[in-house]
Amino acid sequence: MSSASTRAAGAAKGGRDWYEEWFGEDYLAVYPHRDSREAESVVEFLHGILGQSKIERVLDLACGAGRHSRALGRYWWTTGFDLSETLLAVARRETPGGSYVRGDMRLLPFRHGAFSLVVNLFTSFGYFREDDDHRRVLAEVASVLPPGGHFVLDYLNAEETVANLKPNDERRVNDLVIEQQRSITPDGKFVEKKITLRGRNKSFVERVRLFSRSQLESLLTDAGFAVESVYGDYAGSDWSAASQRTMLVSAKR
């Protein structure tokens, strides 16, 4: 990890947090084939609404194994950025010669105005315990965009998530049996999913902040963005309380 990433990681209180532990080999075993067709559809949609803008360089923030980066790269020069060494290794293997950088999203190692577009897709935000860390991420995003540069934040819909929470389920992936238990934290701020890998004697917790649409808009506005549109799915439907997603398209003021 770079010195910049080390400083940012040190901002997390209480040592290693769930996102530092989870996105490794076990994550790949649980989610062996994240849907590349879905990634293609998201990027097609983004190209449809942003294709008329002058976009030269794109940052795929929290790119994981690079499925969105690969799709974005068909239209624009793209850099993927993620904390997980394991997922970045997959991304580099799938896209030899692709541009991938490791680090912490709270301290981006790029020059000011380096990108025309930043995307953060498939709920890869809201992982931190403290909202000051989420604000720090958005400030960093603003710093790597010029005025007029676009930021797309694709997030869960907190209202729909709470209303339709499935407390538990079980599924099989190859020879692995996966138990999942979901709950809302007592303070109502986070949705948590406990993942148990039966037979491996392992369990992990995913925890994501339940930001409402209005809270996300306020965070973006405070970071210097103007929200231009909000969509409820990857087909471009209008957002509602029942929408699957909260996708905010904003521009730096």
CATH of the domain at 58: 3.40.50.150
Mean pLDDT computed over every residue of the chain:
92
Q: What is the pLDDT of residue 33?
A: 64
pLDDT value at position 68?
Answer: 96
Angle between helix 131-143 and helix 213-222 axes, rounded to 10 deg? 50
Number of domains in the chain: 1
Nearest to 6 by CA among 96, 119, 107, 77: 107
In a domain, residue 243? The reply is yes
Residue 191, pLDDT > 90, answer: yes
Q: Does residue 168 form part of some domain?
A: no
Q: Domain for residue 19, yes or no?
A: yes
Assess if residue 117 is contained within a domain.
yes
Model pLDDT for residues 7-47, shown as the tens digit of each residue: 344 444 446 899 998 888 888 888 776 678 889 999 999 99
**How distant is the alpha carbon of residue 144 from its chain centre?**
17
Say if pTM beats, i.e. exceeds, 0.85.
Answer: yes
Amino acid at 186: P
Residue 177 lies in a domain: no
- Residue 180 counted as domain residue: no
Provide the residue range defining the domain that includes 96.
3-156+211-252
Length of the chain: 253
Is the pLDDT higher at 174 or at 110? 110
Element (H, E) at 131: helix 131-143
Domain annotation covers residue 237: yes
pLDDT at 154 over 60: yes
Residue 136 identity (one-letter amino acid) = R
Rounded to an integer, what distance in angstroms lies between the CA atom of residue 197 and that of residue 29? 10
Q: CB–CB of 81/103 below 8 Å?
A: yes
Residue 184 tokens read as 């809302």
Q: Which of 7-11, 112-116, 155-159, 197-201 shows the lowest per-residue confidence on average (mean pLDDT)? A: 7-11
Cα dist. 25→21, 22, 32, 103, 194 in Å?
A: 10, 8, 10, 19, 17
Strand order in the sheet with 117-120: 99-102, 77-82, 57-61, 117-120, 150-156, 245-252, 225-231
Distance (Å, whole) CA 92 – CA 220: 31
Mean pLDDT across 186-196: 97
